[in-house]
Structure 1
Amino acid sequence: MIRFHLKCDHDHEFESWFQSGAAFDKLVNAGMVTCTRCGSAGVTKTIMAPAVSTSSQIMAPKPNEAAIAAIRAEVEKNSDYVGEGFAKEARDMHDGVTPERSIYGQANLQEARKLVDDGVPVVPLPFMPRKKTN
């Protein structure tokens, strides 16, 4: 995971985590990175200083890791995991084919972009879902 300092075309600054620099580039090019304040998709990276950990900091949990863990716990507690069927399930709920409920899972970039283009409300999660075994 990598954290980038970002800025939208309305001069709002914010930070976000990405799987990699290449993942950031793909998401920005697909219009899937938006300003946390105004929703603008005109987002670019800003200059940032590298974070260097000392040996005593390496073992300490980072505050953002705790926040992501808390988000994960809430999502897993309050949503149904639908795995790779996420795009179909989200579309079926949006179209009224199935009842609405909170879901999470995986969608490839093309599927996610199509959902967004079609007005299906989806958001990327700051973590990869765990595969459920039942």
Structure 2
Amino acid sequence: MIRYDLSCKDGHRFDGWFASSAAFETQRDQGQVNCAICGSAEVDRALMSPGVAAKSNRAASGPGTARSKTPLEQLRDHVEANSDYVGLRFADEARAMHDGRSDKRAIHGEAKPEEARKLIEEGVPIAPLPFIPKRKAN
């Protein structure tokens, strides 16, 4: 996975995760990459510095060495440990918190693209996750 700093035509900055550079370009060219702030499909990569791990942060290798989690796995763990999974009720829950009908809390879940676009248009602060949430059984 590659994380890119992105910028829309209005100068809004946000990030996105993609399988490869080619995957980003394909999705962007098909209008599938939208600004997380205004919803614009006129998005491109912004100038960013490379992320190089310090020598002391690199995982040791060899027999018996545990594999370090990737940044994406670490992000998933953080999101799942620090927010409530609301599943397909994400749009309704986010809107209710934004409108003051429900207590504000960190949530994650799933929304159809048109639901997400409407939330953005309404000013509800949301951001896409670079992974599909693990489904939790009731």
Tell me which residue corresponds to 1:103.
Answer: 107
Tell me, in whole angstroms, the C-alpha distance in 2 between the residues paired with 1:85 and 1:122. Answer: 14
Q: Deviations over 1:28-61 (max 9, x none)?
A: 3x44488xxxxx9742269xxxxxxxxxxxxxxx
TM-score, reference length from structure 1: 0.63
Q: In the alignment, what sits opposite 1:50?
A: none
The structure with the largest helix share of the pair is 1
Could you tell me which residue of structure 1 aligns to residue 49 of structure 2?
none
Match 1:73 to one of 46, 71, 77: 77
Q: How many residues align?
A: 109
**TM-score after normalising by structure 2:** 0.61
Q: Offset of 1:18 from its aligned partner?
A: 3.2
With over 3 angstroms needed to count, the CA separation of the structure-2 counterparts of 1:117 and 1:132, relative to structure 1, is: same
Q: Which structure is higher in RCO with an 8 Å CA cutoff and minimum separation 6? A: 2
| Cα distance change, pair 26–131 in 1 and its aligned pair in 2 (3 A) | farther
Alignment of 1:1-134 (within 5 A): 3=2, 8=7, 16-18=16-18, 23-24=27-28, 25-28=30-33, 30-32=34-36, 42-44=42-44, 66-134=70-138
Unaligned runs of 5+ in 2: 47-67
Show structure 1 runs of 5+ residues with no match: 35-39, 47-62
Contact map agreement 1:32 1:41 (CA 8 A) in 2:
no
User: CA 1:76–1:26 in structure 2 vs 1: closer, same or farther (change >3 Å)?
Assistant: same
